[in-house]
Amino acid sequence: MDVSNPQDGNQDDVRTTVVTDTGIAAGTLLANRFLIEGALGEGGQAQVYRAHDQVTDKIIAIKVLARRSELSEGAIQRLRDELLAARQISDPTIIRVHEFYRDDAYVFYTMDCIEGTTLSTRLQKPITLAEADRWIQQLIQGVRACHRGQVIHGDIKPANLLINEKHDLIVADFGISAAQGTQFSGTSGTDGYRAPELDAGETATSAIDIYALGRVVERLISAVKGRDLRSVLWRSRWRQLARKMRHADPNARISLSALSRYTSAQPIRPSVMFGGLIVMLLSLTFIYQFYQDRSGAAPAPIVESGEAPARIAFVRGEGSSELQQILQMLTLTYTAEPDFSVIPSGRVDELLSQLGLNPFQQERDRQRLATLLNVSTLVFLESPSGTDTSAPYIQVYLSHFPDNRIHGVEAFALTEGPLPVFQVIRGHLDEQLGRQVQEVTSTPLSPELTALILRIQEASDATLQSLIEEYRDQYQQAPAFWYALADWAYWQDNDAATREYLAQLFATQEQHSASYWVLQGQVLEAELNGDLESAAVALDRLLREFPERPDLLEHRAQIAQQLDDIALAERLLERALAIDPNSGYRWFELGRLRINQGDIQSAIHHELAQGLIRFRQQEDLAGQGTILNAFGVAYLRMGNLERSRDYFEEALAVREQANDLSGQAVTLGNLANVLSIMQEYDEADAQLSRAADIFAQMNDHRGMAQVMNDRGYVAEEQGLYEAALRYFRDALDLRMRYGSTSEQAESISNVAFVYFLSGDFSQADIFLRQAYTLFERIGHQNGMLRTELQLANLHLHRGEYQIATRILARVSGEVGDHRPIEQAFLNFVLSHRNFGLGNMDTARTNIAAAIAQATTIQDYRAMIENALWQYEMCFWLADRDCLEREYMVLMDQQDGFTREQAVVFAWLNWSYHFLQEQRTSTEGIEELLQAVNEVNLPLHTELKIRLSLWEFVPDYLDDDEKRTLRARIRSSYYKEYLHVHYLMARDQLEAPSNLASLLARHPDHWRNHVFIVASDASEEVIGNAQQQWLNSLSREQAQRYQCWFLMECAREQ
């Protein structure tokens, strides 16, 4: 395996630039048009110049490929063809190439002048995780754009990637780009980024760019230094993908389309978005994802509560580099001790910076810092300056809480260097902290080994090898030494070396002990193998030996979620928060889980409230925006639209104050969804326009896809199905180019649902199966189950009950208590299935369960949908008590009705009163028909209402109108098809024998006892069918049914 460690590719490829130094002076005029103003960039950009185009009066960039005398005509023509091919690429992440030129002196091309710097230069400074993730996404987008244009870039490297003033990454330098299949030389590309097949003289394919892409991803990963859980898991995901990109076999490298299945362009900070309004499936969605969903049961947890370790935090004042080194050594040493839980220094520094605390001088600040960190002891280290003594020293003291009393003040001279001082300080702290060493489970870290581990963490590849050679024999039996090496290799994406060092770790004399380093090695090995189950077991043991560490508990909770053990994830987060109650993001995570499980009241009044308090205490605006947005989603789920809107507007204001553009766009989308439900469609559109402007400013194609999705939801709410389909298809087009597999599956599901509402069952079926395939490919269990339920519902509408039953049986075996949303949807579909087959008691039991589940999870849209179906069943069964009861329930909920639900409710109310009055008055039918005509209803809902009105009031349509309605109904509309043929036969518009033949093909339809009357069946057959049905009803209900639907009213019902 190639384990070379590429730098940034600042040296030019020989084919990129034939000459090593063009030396074009400022003031030189090229092609009698372009006035050179100076050189741009460094290294790989040394042959690029800033120039003034005297024709267009614009500033452009010029890339000089060679001196004119050094290239043959054939070579010039080939370069021209390749550059013109690159010019055809149109994408925001690709630098725009203008024209190819050759004058008497040079061969060059012109392009946009990008104000900014190269990625190689930018990597000389620290970068954040969010920056790295953004640039990786944009680089993938750019390479995909090249390959769509049948262009191989050929020299992807940091020196050829530009970071503009908006902090967007732009792919530049097409000096050696080529059409697919061009023969690159073995020296094409740049060392460390050049694919191995080029060295073997093989024909170049797009795979060489994917290889280089993987190398750049590795450089970006290594530049993000954070070791918090989110950074660790983010790096873990990308390093696995980078390894797939740079597979030695070009045919085995991950494709760019496949790569998009795993990527997510969402912001790294967790947040929440409101999803679609399809049926009743409203839930929070992840903005970040650490692992792909996997099926399989979680291993039995062996985590047990132990005696809580002392929580300590090291607080560093101003001082020398030796002070920083000693603080790092102390942190490392006490982290490996089970008696202590050390707060990461980054969190301490962040609070000091955000809140402007000065705990060295202010007692109140010490108390506040200890409270926010929930620690029992603060350890202060500073190296005072400006003292009378010339000898540098470090002053150390402690403050225990809640007493907040300073003690253990000592000064340690630095004359002999940091290692001896560290050893003395550690002894002093052991005494002050009351450390009791009872059972030694691992070799204590010596000062020398502690310093060595810090050197390993910062080492380059060459430095590391020299460190191994120098210290291998001395520390052969030291687990910490081998773990530090394995950890270093892991983050360098060197799997072979990681496994080698882990093998050495597990071969030490402490291999079977409870050594912190051995246990961490077991976790690392499981992560290296992508084995979540083994990672869970390893973390359980680590937690048993080193209990009550919030970071380990949070890590274990994340794995529990991926293993579908939500209850365990909640318990682990609760334990982490009991230890460290001031972590706002852990409160958010637990609240998110509560909302997804339907425990919304708890999330609102406890978890989210606590998270907001913590973020406000810490003056963390980004965190406050996240929590306020989550409040909005929670109240939306509960149907409290006014409060939901208020929280979204408050979240928007906070995110604007924090300059959180991505967060603003997310909240604007959520706000638009609320406004659309409130039927404030123009205002919803205005919010989505604002979101679109932000995403466009950020060059965020996935964000634009989400806006298209939201526009589709708004159009769907209005019944504008053609517009909804257009928006959902536009979103799908963007996501097929830039989105992850789960996003693509979501858009495909949306398209399928609109086809279903429009009555195009064939297209709905095709798209649902495509969505299922994508969900299955990534192991997205919830997505698979929901798609299967939608397929089952589609089959029921087609009358394909056997297929639907098989699907429902399979889903029923997969849906557990931890999937309440899917459970509610399952019972909803089962109720329709059983009602259609005449199993009325079971159907009513199903819908009662669905209503109970929707109520438990406080999903008001599902509650209304289920209640309306319950009301409709009561009507068709002539159950007056049930009708009156459900009427009162729906009257209380009608403020939350959609336009469609309001029409359905009005239709059922009119029909009930019309039949109750024994069809003596059609008062109100014109208003009902006007509503049906004005509201764009789903096709099957519209047909159901029109056919029932035809049945109850035959004269409201003339014969031509009846035939026109009949022509709209396809044979695949099972229930409507049977109903219309009954009405046509009843009104003598078609032969009764046709109806008889149709009923014979569908003997299980529950209303056949009504439809058979219009067929050519004998009186005996008709009587037997009707009596069998009436026997299933109570005596009073049977009499009412005869009057309402069989036109046999013996007395007033």
Q: The domain that contains 384 carries what CATH number? A: 3.40.50.11830
| Number of domains the chain is built from | 5
Task: List the CATH number of the domain containing 182.
Answer: 1.10.510.10
User: From the CB of residue 236, how many other CB atoms can be counted at a distance below 10 Å?
Assistant: 18
Q: How confident is the model at residue 23 (pLDDT cuts 50, 70, 90)?
A: confident
Task: Identify the weakest region by mean pLDDT among 440-449, 597-606, 676-685, 772-781.
Answer: 440-449
Give the model confidence (pLDDT) of 195-211 as tens digits. 888 877 787 788 999 99
pLDDT at 43: 40
Identify whether residues 145 and 187 lie together within a single domain: yes
Tally the residues of the chain: 1053
Mean pLDDT taken over the chain: 83
Task: Identify the weakest region by mean pLDDT among 435-449, 571-585, 948-962.
Answer: 435-449
Give the model confidence (pLDDT) of 88-119 as tens digits. 787 888 888 888 888 888 888 888 898 888 89
Q: How confident is the model at residue 71 (pLDDT cuts 50, 70, 90)?
A: confident
Identify whether residues 462 and 381 lie together within a single domain: no
Give the model confidence (pLDDT) of 236-284 as tens digits. 678 778 888 988 888 888 888 667 655 543 333 323 222 333 333 333 3
Identify whether residues 59 and 90 lie together within a single domain: yes
Given a cut of 90, whether residue 630 has pLDDT beyond it is yes
Given a cut of 70, whether residue 688 has pLDDT beyond it is yes
Identify whether residues 253 and 326 lie together within a single domain: no
DSSP 224: -
Identify whether residues 532 and 405 lie together within a single domain: no
- What type of residue is 842? T
Domain-embedded: residue 968:
yes
Give the model confidence (pLDDT) of 992-1001 as tens digits. 999 999 999 9
pLDDT (average), residues 1033-1041: 91
C-alpha span between 293 and 564 (Å, rounded): 8
Task: Identify the weakest region by mean pLDDT among 347-361, 464-478, 923-937.
Answer: 347-361
Nearest to 996 by CA among 985, 980, 983: 985
Domain-embedded: residue 718:
no
User: From the CB of residue 433, how many other CB atoms can be counted at a distance below 10 Å?
Assistant: 20
Domain-embedded: residue 21:
no
Given a cut of 70, whether residue 304 has pLDDT beyond it is no
Identify whether residues 926 and 880 lie together within a single domain: no
On whether the pTM is more than 0.75, the answer is no
Pairing state between β 151-152 and 178-179: antiparallel
Identify whether residues 799 and 876 lie together within a single domain: yes
C-alpha span between 862 and 280 (Å, rounded): 4
**Residue spans of alpha helices (H) in 110-183:** 119-122, 129-148
C-alpha span between 225 and 1013 (Å, rounded): 78
Given a cut of 80, whether residue 879 has pLDDT beyond it is yes
pLDDT at 436: 43
Given a cut of 60, whether residue 412 has pLDDT beyond it is yes
pLDDT at 653: 95
pLDDT at 271: 30
pLDDT at 41: 57
- What type of residue is 718? Q
pLDDT at 549: 86
C-alpha span between 465 and 1012 (Å, rounded): 88
Give the model confidence (pLDDT) of 968-993 as tens digits. 999 999 999 999 999 999 999 999 99
Task: Identify the weakest region by mean pLDDT among 270-274, 612-616, 956-960, 1007-1011.
Answer: 270-274
Given a cut of 80, whether residue 51 has pLDDT beyond it is yes
Q: 1036: alpha, beta or left, given left = phi > 0 and alpha = psi -120 to 50?
A: alpha
- What type of residue is 895? D
Task: List the CATH number of the domain containing 837.
Answer: 1.25.40.10
Q: How confident is the model at residue 443 (pLDDT cuts 50, 70, 90)?
A: low
More confident residue, 801 or 83: 801
Identify whether residues 907 and 940 lie together within a single domain: yes
Query: Exposed, middle or buried by CB within 10 Å (0-12, 13-18, 19+), for 499?
Result: middle
Identify whether residues 333 and 466 lie together within a single domain: no
Identify whether residues 411 and 328 lie together within a single domain: yes
Range of the domain at 796: 780-897
Given a cut of 70, whether residue 31 has pLDDT beyond it is yes
C-alpha span between 344 and 450 (Å, rounded): 17
Domain-embedded: residue 501:
yes
pLDDT (average), residues 659-685: 91
Give the model confidence (pLDDT) of 215-224 as tens digits. 999 889 888 8
Given a cut of 70, whether residue 839 has pLDDT beyond it is yes
pLDDT at 1050: 65
pLDDT at 258: 66
Given a cut of 70, whether residue 230 has pLDDT beyond it is no
DSSP 44: G
Domain-embedded: residue 65:
yes
C-alpha span between 387 and 393 (Å, rounded): 10
Tokens in use for 568?
Answer: 């365990």
% of the chain exceeding 90 in pLDDT: 37
Q: How confident is the model at residue 231 (pLDDT cuts 50, 70, 90)?
A: low
Domain-embedded: residue 884:
yes
Among 897, 931, 952, identify where a domain stops.
897
Beta bridge partners, 51, equal 36, 60
Domain-embedded: residue 602:
no
pLDDT at 359: 87
Domain-embedded: residue 997:
yes
Q: How confident is the model at residue 835 (pLDDT cuts 50, 70, 90)?
A: very high
pLDDT at 109: 86
Residue 476 CA from chain centroid, whole number = 43
Given a cut of 80, whether residue 6 has pLDDT beyond it is no
Among 897, 923, 943, identify where a domain stops.
897
Given a cut of 70, whether residue 511 has pLDDT beyond it is no
Among 392, 408, 438, identify where a domain stops.
438
Task: Identify the weakest region by mean pLDDT among 369-383, 617-631, 790-804.
Answer: 369-383
Contacting residues for 845 by C-beta, under 8 A, at least 6 apart? none
C-alpha span between 229 and 236 (Å, rounded): 10
Give the model confidence (pLDDT) of 529-551 as tens digits. 777 788 888 888 888 888 888 88
pLDDT (average), residues 601-619: 89
Identify whether residues 223 and 343 lie together within a single domain: no
Give the model confidence (pLDDT) of 743-768 as tens digits. 899 999 999 999 999 999 999 999 99
Identify whether residues 907 and 859 lie together within a single domain: no
